[in-house]
Chain A
Amino acid sequence: MRLQYPPNVRIIRVPCTGKVDVIHLLTAFEAGADGVFVVGCMEGDCHFMEGNLYAKKRVQRVKGILDKVGLGGGRLEMYNLSAGMGGRFAEVVKEVFNRVKELGPSPIRIAKGTAAAAAGEVATT
């Protein structure tokens, strides 16, 4: 659709968000991501049955961990979209970008001295 959405967003494609595990999300933050967003199929429409439901639980778990380690669970979110919702996808990315901008650079990047422009990562099916 060639819709515009903000730069500094790295998209990582996975066959199903069920493939995204807790450690992947944490590693992204260790690597310096300011925000991570998981975009999976609509609930009930998962091609692999419940993959997106596992992803939802894992995202909740990592949000909890992020709150406890001083990063804040707001930097991680899950969205459910269908493949045909290109317009909504662009909206989501903008929402995400604005939220991360508001939260500021990740304390990890600040601590490592690499805080420059805000950056975000999105894992999507």
Chain B
Amino acid sequence: MIKAKEKPLEEIINMVQDFKKLLIAGCDGCVTVCEAGGLKEVKVLASALRLYFTQLGQKVDIDETSLTRQCNKEYLEELADKMDNYDAVVSTACGCGIQFLAEMYNTKPVFPGVDTSFMGVTEERGVYAERCQGCGKCILAETGGVCPIARCSKRMLNGPCGGSDKGKCEVSPDIPCGWELIYERLKTLGQLDRFEKPIDPKDWTTSRDGGVRKIVREDVSI
């Protein structure tokens, strides 16, 4: 799923300090799973902001809500009849949801409550790690199910580099060497012969480098 982190409170305060009627809108999807922007986090943010404005002697109305998702219009539409009550929205959905909400309610300033970071997994509660870079042309079959684009800091296709040390990436001892992971997995699978053949330069057109992407499914769209 998409993993995000709450924005520092002082940053959010800075964004909203001139407004009088705020909606804090969360999302029950990815940001709930990584405990950054679900209803629970929305309530905490709203309470913190209330404390801030009250002790300043400023009267600010702050409402709380969370939608099933902010990346589907059907759910965003549920906000339609209350939007006029607010002069700004803080969305704690991922960057996709924040933008979609802002698009639909384009006369309202919409501020991000989280820093959306990457596509990843929950290794354990509170520990989220990157796994996929969305390159658009998955090569996991060739690398034993470990992605070199996402897990090698240099996205090498013929790794590991010379900085791989005791299983760790030269960038940080918190990062396992992606190519060592691939090597171990290929070894377990009995596919070490894959190591001998050079992999050709990647076609990056299906990734961010090719331009802003879209998938159109003719078979399901009317």
Contacts and interface: CB of A to CB of B under 8 A. Distances in A.
A and B in direct contact, judged by CB atoms within 8 A: yes
Contact of B55 (A23, A26, A65, A70): A70
Name the prevailing secondary structure of the B interface residues: helix
Contacts of B43: 23
Contacts of B168: none
A121 B49 CA distance: 21
A4 interface: no
B48 interface: yes
From B43, B47, B52, residue with most partner A Cβ within 10 Å: B47
B40 interface: yes
A30 B52 contact: no
Contact of B47 (A30, A107, A110, A112): A30
Interface in B35-80: 40, 43-44, 47-52, 54-57
A11 interface: no
A68 interface: yes
Nearest to B40: A23
Contacts of A70: 51-52, 55-56
Interface of A: 22-23, 26-27, 29-30, 65-66, 68-71, 106-108, 110-112
Nearest to A67: B9
A69 B52 contact: yes
A27 B48 CA distance: 9
From A69, A106, A107, residue with most partner B Cβ within 10 Å: A69
B85 to A, nearest CB: 21
A8 B123 CA distance: 45
A23 B13 CA distance: 18
Contacts of B10: 68
Given A65-B9, A71-B55, A22 B44 contact: yes
Contacts of A29: 51
Contact of B51 (A22, A69, A110): A69
B47 A111 contact: no
A112 B54 CA distance: 8
A86 B83 CA distance: 53
Nearest to B12: A68
B47 A23 contact: yes
B57 A65 contact: no
Contacts of B57: 111
Contacts of B56: 70, 111
Given A26-B44, A111-B55, 4 more contacts: A22-B44, A107-B55, A108-B55, A111-B57
Interface in B9-40: 9-10, 13, 40
Interface in B94-145: none
B54 A26 contact: no
B3 to A, nearest CB: 19
Given A26-B51, A108-B54, A111-B57, A69 B44 contact: no
B44 A23 contact: yes
